[in-house]
Amino acid sequence: MRRDGVTLGIDLGATTVRAAVVDEGGRLIGQERHRLQSKEPPQVAEAIVRASKTACAAAGLPFSEMLGLGLAVDGRVHKATGVITASPALGWRDVPLLKLLQARVPKVPIALTNDLAAVVWAERMAGAAKGVDDLLVVLLGSHVGCGLVLGGRLQEGWSGLAGDLAHSKVSSAAPDPQKPAAHGRQCGCGQRGCLDAYATSTALCAWARDDIRIAQAAARAAGKPNLVGKRLLDLVGGDPDKITAAAMERAAHEGDELSRRLLDEAARMLGFSVANLLTMLNPQRLLLGGGLLSSSPRMMRLAQDAIDLYASKAARISCTVGAPALGDDAGVVGAALLAREAA
Ligand SMILES: [Zn+2]
């Protein structure tokens, strides 16, 4: 192993910080996972440093020999200033994370990036799209995530917002007092009609709960039993608050009309949005994955059908669709490899 090729990759999520020592080929040499005890920025910076040093110990290398430290954050990263401008996962706004880390490890160069930028870079350098210069990764889980490499370069946008597919609009965002029911669903970002308000595991459950409660109220008013989402409700013991994406997938499989309609509509919205990206960016490869898509064959199939249907023929024909290869490791691998580029 070449020591001069070793960097640290950190993946900072809502509940855990993961650190790994990664070699130039993207292989993990030593790693550590910490649960965050606090989301206060100084404590999180401490946890990052601790996890990094433990990962170095696991790799049998001193921290001082790290060529650089790459940090992938679940949030919006302003690279020029090293500030996390927004991270709903951590409950952060305008946190100067780079400064907090530099104060603790002044001798190691630090590169900050968004977690999906790290994922797409990892897949491009060491995963399912090695050597592909025009690449799009879309992950669907509790959020929609998207990473872009174009012309061999990672695209993060001037203020770190490139690839924000989650908040592209798939439904009417403008309020219409005449038709309140036609408003797009409320998104966590404060706007309406975002893809993230429909096509994620969290959004799907909220959507099903809302539709069931509306149907229950209508059935009560009419003095009839509610039949909407009946199979789904049976699967979760009659409690709409216990609805999960997995229960919806199963209910859809067993013929539940509501689950089918929402999963299908969410998959179609995702496919529609991704198709427009294909048409606009002409990537050579598209990697589709994430917890929700990989556990829902129904959504995966429908999303791919929608991509085939809505992308321009020329863009679709020149793009191969596959699955990411690195799974949970992609964040740390990508962050470490980006730290190498920066160093
Ligand atoms: Zn939004």
For residue range 175-209, list pLDDT tens digits in order: 666 766 567 899 988 899 999 999 999 999 999 99
Give the distance (Å) from ligand 1 centre to CA of residue 197.
7
pLDDT level of residue 20 (50, 70, 90 thresholds): very high
Give the distance (Å) from ligand 1 centre to CA of residue 15.
22
Give the distance (Å) from ligand 1 centre to CA of residue 231.
30
Give the distance (Å) from ligand 1 centre to CA of residue 272.
17
Domain co-membership, 139 together with 210 = yes
Predicted pLDDT at 158: 85
Give the distance (Å) from ligand 1 centre to CA of residue 201.
15
Torsions phi, psi for 217 (to 5 deg)? -65, -40
| Residue 326 vs residue 189, higher pLDDT | 326
* Distance (Å, whole) CA 186 – CA 184: 6
Give the distance (Å) from ligand 1 centre to CA of residue 6.
38
Give the distance (Å) from ligand 1 centre to CA of residue 176.
18
Q: In the predicted model, is pLDDT for residue 83 greater than 50? A: yes
Predicted pLDDT at 308: 98
Torsions phi, psi for 116 (to 5 deg)? -75, -30
pLDDT level of residue 84 (50, 70, 90 thresholds): very high
Predicted pLDDT at 180: 60
Domain co-membership, 76 together with 216 = no
Q: In the predicted model, is pLDDT for residue 3 greater than 60? A: no
Q: In the predicted model, is pLDDT for residue 4 greater than 80? A: no
Domain co-membership, 285 together with 335 = no
* Distance (Å, whole) CA 112 – CA 263: 35
Domain co-membership, 169 together with 228 = yes
- State how many domains the chain has: 2
Alpha helix stretches (DSSP H) within 162-256: 201-222, 230-235, 245-253
Domain co-membership, 173 together with 275 = yes
Residues 132/325, Cβ–Cβ less than 8 Å: no
Helices (H) and strands (E) in the chain, counts: 11, 13
Predicted pLDDT at 160: 86
Task: Tell me the chain's radius of gyration from C-alpha atoms.
Answer: 22
Letter string b/e over residues 70-80, b meaning 16 or more CB atoms within 10 A of that residue's CB: bbbbbbbbbbe
Q: pTM of the full predicted structure?
A: 0.93
Judged by DSSP in three states, 88 sits in coil
Domain co-membership, 99 together with 184 = no
Q: How many CB atoms lie within 10 A of CB 223?
A: 6
Give the distance (Å) from ligand 1 centre to CA of residue 7.
34
Domain co-membership, 150 together with 103 = no
Domain co-membership, 152 together with 234 = yes
Burial class (CB in 10 A: 0-12, 13-18, 19+), 250: middle
CATH code assigned at 171:
3.30.420.40
Give the distance (Å) from ligand 1 centre to CA of residue 12.
21
Domain co-membership, 318 together with 331 = no
pLDDT, mean of residues 259-273: 97
Query: Per DSSP, what are the bridge partners of residue 147?
Result: 137
Give the distance (Å) from ligand 1 centre to CA of residue 97.
24
Give the range of the structural domain holding residue 114, as residue numbers without chain letter. Answer: 3-127+327-342
Give the distance (Å) from ligand 1 centre to CA of residue 141.
15
Q: In the predicted model, is pLDDT for residue 299 greater than 70? A: yes
Domain co-membership, 104 together with 229 = no
The DSSP call for residue 192 is B
Give the distance (Å) from ligand 1 centre to CA of residue 169.
8
Query: Per DSSP, what are the bridge partners of residue 149?
Result: 135, 154
Token pair, residue 10, equals 């950190």
Domain co-membership, 74 together with 180 = no
